[in-house]
Amino acid sequence: MYLEPSDKDLFFKLYFDLLYCVNIKHKIVKHFGDSRFPKIVDSGDANLVREKLFENPKWIDEYLNKYGDEFTEEERNILVSWRDYYIRDTFIVIKYLTKYSVFMHETDKGDNKLYGITGLNHPFAELFDKNDLPILVAALLLPFKNKIIYDGLVSAFNVRIGPNMRKSMNESYRISKEKYGIIERLPFDDSAPRAVVKTRPKTAPAKPIQQKDEKYQEIADIINRFCEEELDAEFTEVCLFVLGKLRRKRPSPLTGGKANTWACGIVYAVCSNNFVFDRSQSYYMPAQDIADWFDLSKSTAQSKASEINKLLKISIFSPEYVIARAREQINGLQNMMRETDNILKLFE
């Protein structure tokens, strides 16, 4: 996931002007843009100014004292948050999720924390191939509008991570996720573990049905885990709605087949119905990645999803199977279809 265009523009406006003015005052590099709010800067120069700035974060106070009246209260608060809550260090890029990329950071206390990092112009996953993970990088993390971003300047270390180290990192990821969750905003209060984790726990009971049913609950738990890691609560709600519809059918098809396969088929059907496989979507996820998460082949996932689509007649024009973010696109499609019908009628 990456920032909306308006948020991206705001970040670059504030950040590049901050670097420009810091450089004018402290003369770190010879040239940094032609004027305030530069549109294009040299990444090497930007890196040098940034390093000096965050070695001396109180320079942000100097900037605010001189130029603060030019900005809105929200913009000033963003700048203050950079002064107080930045994290400049080395990180392990350990996992790509639909919502963000996960950076693992070893703290001074010797434990690890996981940060969900939103990209600027594009998802971080486009910088480094998924198959190369985990990767050791040097980066600066900044709070920004209830998200954590990096400033666009990142360098990877040419370090080979062997299978034993990967195993150890994955175990550290598991332990940290159970203890703190994936941290989505700064600052984070580590005296209250799980304070910022998504509200739905791994084994949350499925809401659509209250009756106890081992097979049903097993499927619901798998769906909850997938959506917590890869999507969000909106998808959880729709997937569990589909699960409830399948359970209420008589006879219920859930009595046959494996729970994992049913969970995968439900997720795959809902994702397909909500344009998740469309690269233009902010919540894009490849179909193969879904199948891989469930340790199934893509053809098995497609087949089970097709079965579910037929059983429930799932359609983009059925609002109960559509998340809110996809409805605007569907409304646009419906309007286009109506306009096409009206044009065709003129020629009848």
Range of the domain at 315: 214-329
The reported pLDDT for the residue numbered 13 is 94
Indicate whether 147 and 175 sit together in one domain: yes
End-to-end CA distance of the chain: 46
pLDDT of residue 192: 54
Q: Identify how many contiguous H helices and E strands the chain contains and give both numbers.
A: 11, 7
Decide if 348 is inside a domain.
Answer: no
Asked whether residue 93 is domain-assigned, the answer is yes
Please report the pLDDT score of residue 226 as a whole number. Answer: 92
Residue type, 85: Y
**Residues 99, 36 within the same domain:** no
Each residue's pLDDT, cut to its tens digit, for the chain (348 residues) gives: 788 889 999 999 999 999 999 999 999 998 888 889 998 888 899 999 999 999 999 999 999 999 999 999 999 999 999 999 999 999 999 988 878 999 999 887 778 999 999 988 877 777 888 778 899 999 999 999 999 999 988 888 887 787 888 888 888 898 998 889 999 999 988 765 544 434 334 444 444 434 447 899 999 999 999 998 888 888 998 999 999 999 988 889 998 999 999 999 999 999 998 889 988 777 888 999 999 999 999 999 999 999 999 999 998 777 888 887 777 665 545 455 555 555 555 555
pLDDT of residue 291: 93
Q: Which residue stretches of the chain are H helix? A: 5-26, 43-55, 59-67, 73-85, 163-180, 214-230, 233-248, 259-273, 287-293, 298-312, 324-346
Same domain, 239 and 225: yes
Q: How many domains does the chain have?
A: 3
Residues 71 and 162 in one domain: no
Do 71 and 109 belong to one domain? no
Q: What is the pLDDT of residue 345?
A: 55
Does residue 196 sit within a domain? Answer: no
Q: What's the CATH code of the domain at 118?
A: 2.40.50
pLDDT for the residue 167: 85
Whether 232 maps to a domain, the answer reads: yes
pLDDT at 330: 58
Same domain membership, residue 156 and residue 78: no
